[in-house]
Amino acid sequence: MGPQYTGGSKLVLPKDYREWTFLTSGLGMSYTPGAKDAANPSFDNVFVNPAAYQAFLKTGTWPDKTVLILEVRGSENHTSITTAGRSQNTVMAVEAHVKDASHGGWAFYAFGTGQEGALLPKTQDCYSCHEQNGAVDTTFAQYYPTLVDVAKAKGTFKGGSH
């Protein structure tokens, strides 16, 4: 099942994305020049629909109807018996990056904490940044540990050793 829309251009949050294939999690990642590590950073969990993951393993790139979900969760320390480090808590926001030829190709959607994602205008920085810096097909595959070597082997990795 590919991406589902409502009201023309809004993306419906996939109810089961937490059961999709996990790609990575980062903590406090920023791309802003000169950024400092945050005192209270967020985790970024990334999931992809399983069919797209399987296609990537075979081809080194994303098929049409790929849906990448970025789930931003707060972090905390000293939870339960934790004495150091940080664990995850509630969802702060969700975003999606969707490849859908029937909707003009790759597009970003912002859900906040809701169930419907608003299309981000193509003029926003996320588009140009992903275009310039995404290792595979405008996606930040350089941060997806299980896919980096696949993309390099398939010759689809941009800016790496191939």
State the residues that interact with a second copy by CB under 8 A: 18-19, 21-22, 24-38, 41, 43, 45, 47, 50, 53, 73, 75, 79-91, 129, 133, 135, 140, 142-143, 145-146
Cross-strand bridge partners of residue 69 = 47, 96
Nearer to a second copy, 98 or 135 (CB): 135
CB-CB neighbours of 87 under 10 Å = 14
32 to each of 24, 28, 43, 45, how far by Cα in Å? 20, 12, 17, 19
Q: DSSP class of residue 121? A: P
Nearer to a second copy, 84 or 101 (CB): 84
Nearer to a second copy, 5 or 71 (CB): 71
What is the closest distance, in whole angstroms, from the C-beta atom of residue 8 to a second copy in the complex?
A: 31
